[in-house]
Chain A
Amino acid sequence: MPVKDYIRERFFPQLWCAGCGHGIILNSLIRAVEKLGIDKSSIVMVSGIGCSSRIAGYVDFHTLHTLHGRALAFATGVKLSRPELHVIVPMGDGDALAIGGNHFIHAARRNINITAIVMNNRIYGMTGGQASPLSGCGILASTAPYTSVDQAFDVVQLAAAAGATFVARSTAYHAQQVTEMIQEAILHNGFSVVEVMSQCPTYFGRRNKQGDAVDMLKYMQKITTPIGSKAKEENPELIERGVFVRKELPEYCAAYDNVIARAKEKK
């Protein structure tokens, strides 16, 4: 099916700023679903609040646009009540890891079969460029006028430590790799996290003198490298891209089916 069959065309052009990386991620996501050939009616997309969350309005799936930070909690209700559905949850960095941090680690801990996509642009875009828990030290933001002194989370390490059984990272520059990762994440039977580094030229780029969207994309290419590459050995500052965790552990809904079986046996 052509990409346009997966979108709600009447809402285009979308609301993201010119040069925003989120449109690239939307494209990668749709291509992943298209390649997998999944029926649109078997997909529920649950999102929270923020620039990234508006992605749900543009796709022709069952879409649930919820509260700031709570997308994974709503998604858990959807998935557990109808485990046969594919549940995909795109989130921003603030949405997923500041206000939604608790839901993030607990969804990972349960290993519930949900695909979480963290669209990490290191800034609160919708509210005008405030620092996020992924901004990191030394970043200028509208709430960090003297540069941020907050350390950043590492999404990959956090997700892995919390129990996610598929964890991957790439960037909006590497759009084809993102498609492959999302494909694998959707197929993975457990909680999967795909972090996609995304550019926000309007707030992050401008304030931090990273140039326009193209400059920012090139910069993401420059500061990342495939997992275990020689470049990483030579320059430990580089951020690794690739699949960090890929393991099979009991999935939550399947485990609950066993609970049902045991409960029905016991009089």
Chain B
Amino acid sequence: MSNNIRFLQGNEACVEGALYAGCEFFAGYPITPSTEIAELLSSRLPKIGGKFIQMEDEIASMCAIIGASLTGHKVLTATSGPGFSLKQEALGYAIMAEVPCVIVNVQRGGPSTGIPTHVHQGDVNQARWGTHGDHAIVALTASNHQDVFAMTVEAFNIAETYRTPVVLLFDEVVGHMRERLVLPEPGEIPIVARLQTSVKQGVNYHPYLAREDGRLPMSDFGGVHRYNVTGLYHDMWGFPSDEPQIINELLHHLMDKIEHRTNQLARFKEFYTEDAECLLISYGSSARSAREVVEKHRQRGERFGLLELLTLWPFPSDLIRQKAAGARLVVVVEMNMGQVCQSVRLAMDRPERVFLSNRVDGVFISPSDIEKTLNLIQGRGV
């Protein structure tokens, strides 16, 4: 029992989650603050017969995992801001070709090279809109190592279930902080295996024809079914098409398979939200300080609550509307210029009660930083 307890970095917790989920292939490129994920997997993957490759650049890493996924493996890459920018084209390819894969972005300060060793959460909207064209994406996050592990497993499960790339948006504080992780026993968290087609050899297999439940069974490259995969608009065989109806249907399918499941995909945690007059909304490492503030005010008998988002995309608007319905004041705590705050305002019927408590100077937002914002909002000065 006790040997299931680890004291480690968030990046290491992510690796443990990936291996638990069945990751067998990693391609990456060194970048702060995500490098430990690559380093650790270079040691761990070959031990289980998996493959690790350090590619020539971030772009190639993203491409390589897509190739490896198509041969039937669960795949991962990890990066940070500038690397995430470089991966965007191939991320769009994985969306279009519906190739399951997981991309970790341990966020640092941007834009550009920014502040590599310090924390920011400025890539939230990039995760949503980084690649060109209309599309949908799933992005998950976590504030502590147990959740880093769980969300990493979840990312692989969602990627397989919906044949989609999933982004794990961690941040430098979570990635480098050390704390306890209790490793779940095998089988304790359900694992979604690659859904293989039941179509037999010699019978037409359609890689892009959904079953009744909406899922698209796959056939490994190298298997009995030979088909085409492309980033062009394509028909149910995977062959390029410029038929208006096919283009229209495919784009709607790519959007709907994620966006229509927004509530189903909404992972979150809540603390004292039932009667909260002041609702804090936060995610990632910022949520740790937000929770501290909420606990302190509760001890004083003040009706504070915290909604901690674990799913950032598709944005859980219904959830937020529901949890914030009774709140007089909603404060979004994050380390950027208000990226989630903006989405919260769009989700709310009275956006004027939504305020931002942020910090963007590379210093971790503390409970006292949040208190200062609360004082200002409530007209009490700093």
Contacts and interface: CB of A to CB of B under 8 A. Distances in A.
Interface of A: 11, 40-42, 44, 46, 56-57, 60-67, 70, 73-82, 84-85, 102-103, 106, 256, 259-260, 262-264, 266
Given A57-B240, A106-B55, 20 more contacts: A11-B239, A62-B226, A64-B228, A65-B228, A66-B66, A73-B60, A76-B53, A76-B60, A76-B64, A77-B75, A81-B24, A81-B51, A81-B72, A82-B222, A85-B222, A102-B57, A256-B51, A263-B43, A264-B46, A266-B47
Interface stretch (B12-20, B229-237, B278-286): B229-237
Contacts of A56: 228
B223 interface: yes
A80 B64 contact: yes
Contact of B27 (A11, A77, A106, A262): A77
A75 B75 CA distance: 15
A63 B229 CA distance: 6
Contacts of B27: 76-77
A262 B70 CA distance: 27
Contact of A78 (B57, B59, B67): B67
Interface string B64-93: 111111111101000000000000011001
Contacts of A264: 46-47, 49
B226 A40 contact: yes
Nearest to B47: A263
B242 to A, nearest CB: 12
Contact of B226 (A41, A65, A67, A259): A41
A61 B229 CA distance: 11
B60 A80 contact: no
Interface in B76-117: 89-90, 93
A80 B222 CA distance: 13
B271 interface: no
Contacts of A74: 63-64, 66-67
B25 interface: yes
Interface in B125-162: none
A73 B64 CA distance: 5
A75 B65 CA distance: 10
A102 B229 CA distance: 23
A80 B63 contact: no
A77 B68 contact: yes
Interface in B328-348: none
A67 B92 CA distance: 10
Contacts of B60: 70, 73, 76, 102-103, 106
Contact of B68 (A60, A62, A78): A78
A63 B51 contact: no
Interface centre among A73, A75, A102 (most CB of B within 10 A): A73
A64 B93 contact: no
Nearest to B62: A73
Interface centre among A85, A262, A263, A266 (most CB of B within 10 A): A263
A112 B90 CA distance: 22
A263 B48 CA distance: 9
B221 A64 contact: yes
B2 to A, nearest CB: 20
B210 interface: no
A80 B227 CA distance: 20
B318 interface: no
Nearest to A15: B240
B302 interface: no
Nearest to A49: B231
A228 B49 CA distance: 46
Given A41-B223, A57-B239, A80-B64, A64 B59 contact: no
A81 B71 contact: yes
A70 B63 contact: yes
B60 to A, nearest CB: 4
B56 interface: yes
Given A62-B221, A65-B228, A70-B90, A77 B63 contact: yes
Contact of B231 (A67, A85, A256): A67
B224 interface: yes
Nearest to A77: B67
Give the top 9 A-B pairs by smallest Cβ distance, nearest first: A77-B67, A77-B64, A263-B46, A73-B63, A73-B60, A81-B68, A106-B56, A77-B68, A65-B230
A223 to B, nearest CB: 34
Contacts of B93: 66-67
Contacts of A262: 46
B65 A77 contact: yes
B230 A44 contact: no
Contacts of B221: 44, 62, 64, 78, 82, 85
Contacts of B73: 81
Nearest to A86: B222
A70 B222 CA distance: 20
B222 A84 contact: yes
Nearest to B69: A77
A80 B68 contact: yes
B71 A66 contact: no
A73 B24 CA distance: 18
A84 B71 CA distance: 11
Contacts of B68: 77-78, 80-81
B66 A77 contact: yes
Contacts of B53: 76-77, 80, 256
A18 to B, nearest CB: 21
Contact of B224 (A41, A44, A79, A260): A41
7 contacts: A11-B239, A46-B67, A61-B226, A63-B229, A65-B229, A77-B27, A81-B68
